[in-house]
C-alpha cells in the first residue's frame, strides 16, 4: 500500500474512553467527513464488517485487523481501489495520542490515477482526527 496521509492528535481523556468513542459507530458520522451513517454488522473483531453511507451510496468496510483498546484497521474496497485506515491509541501523559495512517493501493489501469486518488483521500479525510478530538469538547448534536 502507499500512504495517502498520516495524522496524529492528542485527546485529554484516558485511552479506554478514547477507544470506546473510536469504535462507537453511531458517533462516527460526527467525525468522518462525508459519512452520513455507520452500522456495525458484528462485533469489533477481525473479519466483521461495517456498512456506511457516504455521498448517498452504501459502502462496506471490513475490520482487517484489531488489537482491542489499541488499534483497528478498516479496509474499504471500491473496484480496483483498496483503502486501509489504521487508527492507533496510546497513553500520552494524562491523555491519549491517536494516530491515523490512510493507505491506498490500486490495480490495473486505475494505477495511473493512484496519485489523484491518494490526493482526494488526503483532502477529504485529512482533518478526520481533529474532528474526532472535537467530539470530546463539543456537545452531541440534537
Rounded mean pLDDT of the chain? Answer: 93
User: What is the predicted pLDDT for the residue at 137?
Assistant: 87
Q: Any idea which of 48-52, 113-117, 121-125, 135-139 has the lowest mean pLDDT?
A: 135-139
Whole-prediction pTM value? 0.91
Give tens-digit pLDDT for 50-87: 999 988 899 999 999 999 999 999 999 988 999 999 99
Domains of the chain by start residue, with CATH? 2-134 (3.30.530.20)
Q: How confident is the model at residue 140 (pLDDT cuts 50, 70, 90)?
A: low
**C-alpha angle 98/120/5, rounded to 5°?**
30
**Is residue 47 scored above 90 in pLDDT?**
yes
* pLDDT tier at 142, thresholds 50, 70, 90: very low
DSSP secondary structure string, the chain? -EEEEEEEEEESS-HHHHHHHHT-TTTGGGTSTTEEEEEESS-SSTT-EEEEEETTEEEEEEEEEEETTTEEEEEEEETTEEEEEEEEEEEETTEEEEEEEEEEEE-GGGGGGHHHHHHHHHHHHTTHHHHHHHTTTSPPP-
Amino acid at each position: 500500500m502507499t500512504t495517502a496521509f498520516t495524522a496524529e492528535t492528542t485527546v485529554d481523556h484516558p485511552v479506554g474512553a478514547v477507544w470506546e468513542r473510536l469504535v462507537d459507530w453511531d458517533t462516527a458520522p460526527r467525525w468522518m467527513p462525508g459519512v452520513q451513517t455507520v452500522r456495525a454488522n458484528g462485533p469489533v473483531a477481525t473479519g466483521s464488517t461495517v456498512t456506511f453511507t457516504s455521498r448517498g451510496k452504501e459502502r462496506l468496510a471490513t475490520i482487517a485487523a484489531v488489537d482491542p483498546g489499541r488499534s483497528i484497521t478498516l479496509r474499504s474496497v471500491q473496484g480496483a481501489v483498496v483503502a486501509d485506515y489504521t487508527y492507533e491509541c496510546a497513553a500520552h501523559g494524562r491523555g491519549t495520542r491517536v494516530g491515523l495512517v490512510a493507505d491506498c493501493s490500486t490495480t490495473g489501469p486505475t494505477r495511473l490515477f493512484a496519485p489523484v486518488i491518494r490526493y482526494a483521500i488526503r483532502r477529504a479525510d485529512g482533518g478526520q482526527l481533529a474532528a474526532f478530538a472535537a467530539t470530546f469538547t463539543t456537545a452531541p448534536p440534537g
